[in-house]
Structure 1
Amino acid sequence: MATRDFQEKVVLITGASSGIGRAAAKAYASQGAHLVLAARREPQLQDVAREVEALGVRALPVRCDITQPEDVARLMRETETAFGGLDLLINNAGLGLYGPVEALGEAQLRQVFELNFFSLVRVTQAALPLLRKRAPGSQVVNVSSVLGHRGLPLLGGYGASKAAVNLLTESLRAELAAEGISVLLVSPGLTETEFRDARLNAEGWKQEAIPLDAMSAEAVASAMVRASRRKRRETVLTLPGRVMVLANRLVPGLFDRVARRIQNPAKKAP
């Protein structure tokens, strides 16, 4: 019989309407967890709620724009009313940005940092009182990217926002350790989701299809559940991603030369 390691736990996922968030909702539900599903797209959110409820757990879909403080406050109120507390917070919502640093608009950078970093801080701060109700043993899981560990050409704006998440995660982990709240970092590589289609592009720049195999959102979600179960502080996904991070640590100069070649599929739009 399959184990249900998160039986009766309450898991809140941001960006739950598609991609990694949707896959994570189903993965934790299959382990017996109840879900709080937060996203802006209400119809898709309702679909996810129906999918996880079919697995025999409760789901609370909450239309929420996490860039808005009043939405985040309402999300936490509804979570507390429905479940009394929170066992896991998964900060998954994110936005990509593509183009060389010299072409990035300040408004674009601010939009990406607002969602990827400032909103993550906002949600985490608001969730801490609920996580403390279930401590020790509660968790914060921050979804980053391999690009938060090593910058690549034309992805510097997005990578910078994720690097900020990585450093914040380390600080928060140390701050909450004495309370028994684990803070985990999961860094996917290239993943097959809607993320690339929704990404912002610097003016005049657009990325063509790249010749790399992408992992599925379901594979990322499975790895996330394993990390939660084992309380693994840091998980870097895909073999190329792990090689990239290791190479950057051991031979950064050599990897700089490799990185210059990686931008080959990119072309400036006519």
Structure 2
Amino acid sequence: MATKAFQEKVVLITGASSGIGRAAAKAYAAQGAHLVLAARRESHLQDAAREVEALGVRALPVRCDITREEDVTRLVQETERAFGGLDILVNNAGLGLYGPVEGFSETQLRQVFEINFFGLVRVTRAALPLLRKRAPGSQVVNVSSVLGHRGLPLLGGYGSSKAAVNLLTESLRAELAAEGISVLLVSPGLTETEFRDSRLNAEGWKQDAIPLNAMSSEAVANAMVRASRRKRRETVLTLPGRVMVLANRWMPSLFDRVARRVVNPARKP
């Protein structure tokens, strides 16, 4: 029998109770990894742990709000007690925001940054001692978005938080390279998850269904595991996502005009 790519490795995933995080847990488990699953919704987290354990690996569910320092400290402590170290950290937890810059509140923007950026920093810093125990070869995988590479109308608040993640990833990659810790960036495009249902909306704004084909959470998770196996520094997903990033790089003025047609700025009735 062929050896699985992550046999006996330990992977910690934030936002693991649903969507991309839950799919990623199963994808890593299918490759032999043990999982630490972190999220706020305990019942969903327990369900995710049972799914992972059905694949023959260990799963440690830890209720954790990554905006709380004490929760993150406990998460890392429980990981160390259970597994002694950490091979891969997947920073996946995220929160969306929809509406024009003049429409969303400062409180909403701070909430998005607190989860998407500061929470990622908080978990990464806490997990580094455990990642160093398994270096060289350990990894940090940051889940961003194509919107972190190119802003779109009415998605500037969310995209700004992901652009901050992109820049932080580049800095962290350089800082940890000498220790043999890889830092990877995975940028999904439109994905079929509960993400849009929990997203914050500026007052009087909502986003109607987008007439584009979306990736499944499982497809994103499989791409993430491939990138992790190959230590690919940056992965941009979906054909429209890659086209958008390239078009913005080479024809930014043209894409400015196209971008105004991409998002449907429908107001609430």
- Tell me the TM-score normalised to structure 2 length: 0.99
Q: Report how far residue 261 of structure 1 moved.
A: 1.2
- The residue matched to 1:203 in structure 2 has which SS? coil
Query: Is the aligned partner of 1:269 residue 2:268?
Result: yes
SS at 1:60 equivalent: strand
Q: Aligned partner of 2:215: which letter?
A: M
How many Å separate the matches in 2 of 1:114 and 1:2? 42
Report the CA distance between 1:266 and its aligned residue: 2.1
1:80-104 Cα deviation digits (max 9, x unpaired): 0000000000000000000011101
Structure 2: give runs of 5+ residues left out of the alignment. none
Partner of 1:60: 60
**Could you give the per-residue CA deviations for residues 227-256 of structure 1, whole angstroms, max 9, x where no partner exists?**
000000000000000000000000001000
Amino acid at match of 2:197: D
- For 1:269 and 1:13, the matched residues in 2 are separated by 35
Q: Secondary structure at the residue paired with 1:213?
A: coil
Classify the secondary structure of the residue corresponding to 1:17.
coil
Question: Matches of residues 2-151 of structure 1 in structure 2 within 5 Å?
Answer: 3-151=3-151
Equivalent position SS for 1:150: coil
- How many residues are treated as equivalent by the alignment? 269
Q: How much has 1:267 moved relative to structure 2?
A: 1.0
CA-based RMSD of the aligned residues comes to: 0.7
Is there any run of 5+ residues in structure 1 with no aligned partner, and where?
none
Specify the alignment match of 2:170 in structure 1.
Answer: 170
Inter-partner Cα distance in structure 1 for 2:17 and 2:124: 19
Separation in structure 1 between the aligned mates of residue 68 and residue 210 of structure 2, nearest angstrom: 34
- Cα distance in structure 2, aligned partners of 1:261 and 1:54: 45
Structure 2 counterpart SS, 1:267: coil
**Shift >2 Å, 4+ stretches:** none
Quote the offset at 1:116 in angstroms: 0.1
Q: 2: distance between equivalents of 1:61 and 1:158?
A: 28
Alpha-carbon distance in 1 for matches of 2:162, 2:120: 11
Local SS of the residue matching 1:103: coil
Aligned counterparts of 1:119 and 1:42: Cα–Cα separation in 2 = 19
- The aligned counterpart of 1:180 is 180
Q: Helix, strand or coil: the match of 1:235?
A: strand
After superposition, what is the alpha-carbon deviation per residue over 1:185-209, rounded to whole angstroms, capped at 9, x for unaligned? 0000000000001000000001111
* Per-residue deviation, residues 151-172 of structure 1 (Å, max 9, x unmatched): 0000000000000000000000
Counterpart amino acid of residue 43 in structure 1: S
CA–CA distance in structure 2, aligned partners of residues 213 and 251 of structure 1: 24
